Amino acid sequence: MKTLAIISEFNPFHNGHKYLLEEARRKTMADIALTIMSGDYVQRGEPAIIDKYKRSDSAMKSGFDMVIEMPAFITLQSAEYFALGSIKILEKLGVDYLCFGIENINPDEFLNSVDTLIDKADELDKLTKENLDSSSFTKARYDATVKILGSDKFISSNNVLALEYIRAIRKINSKMSPIPIKRISSTNKDIDLKSTKISSSTAIRENILNDYRCHVPDFSYEAIESSKKFYGIPNMEYEFDLFKYLLLINQKPMADILAYEQGLDNYLFKTALKNDNLKDFLKESTTKRYTSSRIKRLILNYLLDNKADFNDYDLDFYKVLAFNKKSQYIFRNSKSKPVLTKKDMDKLPASDQFILSKMLDASNMYSLGQGQELNQDLNKKIRRY
């Protein structure tokens, strides 16, 4: 049996995601489709608009056979480590095809550009470092990429992430085949809803209090509206209050935390002293070098005590959020251990139990901020479809 995978956030699940899955199945003719999905926090360094269980339910109803939760420390990193951590997990599951969306460019041209950038990796790194003193890593990498390719058509957050997926596949010598699928109608950065009814996650979140219904499948709309009714729209003020306590009062060290850079602790300490809310704090602390997403990821990693050395762990488990009968093929053939119950958790080696405990901490922090029940990972039965 052949398996395809999509690395996702589904924040929220929308018509474009449904199209991506349909195209992935059509192109690969795979028997099983799984997704490794960010948990309750996403790569932008924010709480997801609805919790992981509602998002995984939407994914299963759209046609996935299994949803796996991405460890929080992988989610809360830059594209390079986000991609590498996810690919390592998928490799142990025996995934045959990795499918992903790209923008502004056709698949063949995209793959040619990727080959050029990987072949010229040393030159890319050198140009990036030359620009790093005056800008963020993201901007420095952008300028270096444009110079090597001679065009900015390749550059978008989705394409850069897709590049990192392929770089990760090659780095670990995986036989996984990358399958780029061109997005239609909308790009990731669009903030306006499209008349085509396929709009970006960003646009849907921006219009979550307006009429966005036709841009998401019915099951996703019902999940979002139910969550809005009971819990409201998530924000990071709760997490920001925790952050200020740990930084200003507890003065917890920051030096070994993921996304930290020397001097950031003193810089953020001074900024947090002057600002009572997250919006003002981010406005003052964001610079060309330190993007708001990086600062928000650092805040969450700091709260969760996610350390830089977590990237050295060789994870030998995958946490299942939902599955169907067909996906049991993965349980039988994967090189790592599935976690569905408390008993499964207890059987893991100490290092895997430790990383899993960090995932549970992230879920509980989200639940506290949203006024939801604690310890859902231990008490909630995994959905079988």
- What integer is the mean pLDDT of 373-382? 93
85 is in an annotated binding site: no
20 is in an annotated binding site: yes
E strands along the chain, which residues? 3-8, 32-38, 41-42, 46-47, 66-70, 97-102, 177-182, 317-323, 337-339, 383-384
Q: What is the CA radius of gyration of the chain?
A: 20
In this structure, are residues 234 and 30 in contact, taking their beta carbons and an 8 Å threshold?
no
Q: What is the dihedral of CA 68, 260, 257, 319, to 10 degrees?
A: 0
100 is in an annotated binding site: no
310-340 pLDDT, tens digit each: 999 999 999 999 999 999 999 999 999 999 9
Name every residue whose Cβ is closer than 8 Å to that of residue 82 and which is 6 or more positions away in sequence. Answer: 43, 74, 75, 161, 164
347 is in an annotated binding site: no
The tokens describing 300, both together, are 């969450």
189 is in an annotated binding site: no
- What integer is the mean pLDDT of 121-143? 83
86-114 pLDDT, tens digit each: 999 999 999 999 999 999 899 999 999 99
184 is in an annotated binding site: yes
214-236 pLDDT, tens digit each: 999 999 999 999 999 999 999 99
356-367 pLDDT, tens digit each: 999 999 999 999
11 is in an annotated binding site: yes
Answer whether residue 28 shows pLDDT above 70: yes
- Burial readout 307-345 (b: 16 or more C-beta within 10 A, e: otherwise): eeebeeeebebbbbbbbeeebebbeeebebbbbbeeebb
- What integer is the mean pLDDT of 366-385? 94
165-214 pLDDT, tens digit each: 999 999 999 999 999 999 987 676 777 899 889 999 999 999 999 999 99
Share of the chain above pLDDT 90, in %: 86
- What integer is the mean pLDDT of 16-24? 97
- What integer is the mean pLDDT of 69-80? 96
158 is in an annotated binding site: yes
With left for phi above 0 and alpha for psi between -120 and 50, is residue 233 left, alpha or beta? Answer: beta
* Predicted TM-score (pTM) above 0.85: yes
Between the alpha carbon of residue 155 and those of residues 145, 147, 170, the distances in Å are 8, 11, 21
Nearest to 144 by CA among 164, 121, 161: 121
Q: Residue 258's pLDDT band (boundaries 50, 70, 90)?
A: very high
Beta bridge partners of 40: none
If one counts every other C-beta atom within 10 angstroms of the C-beta of residue 133, the result is: 8
181 is in an annotated binding site: no
Q: How much is the pLDDT for 130? A: 86
Name every residue whose Cβ is closer than 8 Å to that of residue 109 and which is 6 or more positions away in sequence. Answer: none
19 is in an annotated binding site: yes
**Tokens 């009714």 sit on residue:** 229
Mean of the per-residue pLDDT values of the chain:
95
Q: How many CA atoms lie within 13 A of 103 on its CB side?
A: 17
Name every residue whose Cβ is closer than 8 Å to that of residue 235 and which is 6 or more positions away in sequence. Answer: 47, 278
273-301 pLDDT, tens digit each: 999 999 999 999 998 788 899 999 999 99
Nearest to 255 by CA among 242, 268, 245: 268
Beta bridge partners of 309: none
Answer whether residue 309 shows pLDDT above 70: yes
Answer whether residue 141 shows pLDDT above 90: no
In this structure, are residues 69 and 39 in contact, taking their beta carbons and an 8 Å threshold?
yes
64 is in an annotated binding site: no
385 is in an annotated binding site: no
Q: Residue 152's pLDDT band (boundaries 50, 70, 90)?
A: confident
H helices of 37-120, in order, are: 52-62, 72-75, 79-92, 107-119
10 is in an annotated binding site: yes
Beta bridge partners of 322: 67, 383
Q: How much is the pLDDT for 186? A: 67
215 is in an annotated binding site: no
